[in-house]
Each structure stands twice: as structure tokens, then as C-alpha cells.
Chains A and B, each alone.
Chain A
Amino acid sequence: EAGVTQFPSHSVIEKGQTVTLRCDPISGHDNLYWYRRVMGKEIKFLLHFVKESKQDESGMPNNRFLAERTGGTYSTLKVQPAELEDSGVYFCASSRNIRSYEQYFGPGTRLTVT
């Protein structure tokens, strides 16, 4: 069974530009989560999809961040326009259903905004 994959592994953009991160969860997993780790701090929750619906988006920092999961399969996270403080590692995780305790993580996308 393939794990959670994320693309790209690393992105370097200038302040003001747009970046789109992609996450492919484990096949059959209804739940998809986005997290990020900035400036060496703890990993923080961004949002949670159940299939294509946003179950919890309480961690989204502001309206420059837009997450989608059309069709309930892969998800994208767009940052527009990017700011310097958006630099960090963006992780995606998935779990089979809402009762599952385990969340399986991807390797992350390292975003650098210059």
C-alpha cells in the first residue's frame, strides 16, 4: 500500500507569488489533514477534510490560504500571495475514517519564501 505522497518536496518562491502544494492520501482514506511546522516550532494543525467536505478549518491562519479536495481524493493547498512568515514544512496526513486514531503522514513540502 502506497503511503501519503506530497508534491513538490521543496519549493522556493518570492514574496507575493503563489504556490500550490499537493497531497495524495492513502487510497481509501476519507480523512485528510494539513499541518505545518514553521521556524522550528511545533507542528500545527491547519484543517481537516472528510471526503470533499471541510470538517474543521480552525487552524487556517488567514484568507491567503485556500485548501480544496475536489472529488474527495487528492487535496491542494494554495498560498496566495505568499509572505515570508509562510516559510516552513507543510505536512499532509490521512486516516481511514473518523473513528481511526492513526494518522499517516507524508514527507512534507518544504516551502521557502524569499
Chain B
Amino acid sequence: ILNVEQSPQSLHVQEGDSTNFTCSFPSSNFYALHWYRWETAKSPEALFVMTLNGDEKKKGRISATLNTKEGYSYLYIKGSQPEDSATYLCAFISPDTGRRALTFGSGTRLQVQP
């Protein structure tokens, strides 16, 4: 059984604050890690797909790092804006042959106050 843990569960910040969340996954059996941004009633939006230990990816004010040896990834948001309010999901893929099922964490719900 694969467990993907995300913390914190929820976060309230003020506009302009920088913030970060954590995703923990099994380090012994790694293929790829996804980060998604999800607003209720909309499609989860792919932010990053990370595959290599030490990967760092950036999209605008959002960036992510990956440590496959210790089994964690961090998502950073610099200068949070109200439009960043959403649930941020990480999802893990194990290298089982032929399986591409994503195993999701429960998400971090971010609320940015103007």
C-alpha cells in the first residue's frame, strides 16, 4: 500500500506572504511525482511532473523541489496572491510495469487573504 502524505492540511496566509507545503512519498519505489492545483468544480491543473532526484522546477511564482532519496517534495509559492487560493495536490507513480495510476495525497488547502 502506497501512502502519500501532505502537510499542512490547510493554510491561511496574507497576500504577499510566501509559503510552502510538503509532500512525502515512499522513497524505495519511485517513478514520478506530480503537483496539481485544484479549484472546486474545475479540472485539476497540472503544475509540475518531477522524475529526477534534485529536480527543481519553476512556473512563475511557484516552484517545486524533489528529493527521491528521502521521499519528499516541497512546493513553494512566493508572494501569494488571492488567486493562488486552491487545493494543492501531489500524486505519486510507482514504477510497477504498466501501471500509471496516480496515488494522491489528501491535499493542502491554501486560502490567501487580500
Contact = CB atoms under 8 A, between A and B. Distances in A.
Interface residues on B, range: 20 to 34
A33 B101 contact: yes
Interface residues on A, range: 20 to 34
Interface in A11-51: 31, 33, 35, 41-45, 48
Given A42-B106, A42-B107, A43-B89, A104 B46 contact: yes
B101 to A, nearest CB: 4
B44 interface: yes
B106 A58 contact: no
Given A98-B98, A101-B51, A105-B36, A45 B46 contact: no
Contact of B106 (A41, A59, A105): A41
B44 A91 contact: yes
Given A31-B100, A42-B104, A43-B104, A105 B44 contact: yes
A34 B107 CA distance: 19
B46 A102 contact: yes
A35 B102 contact: yes
B59 interface: no
B28 interface: no
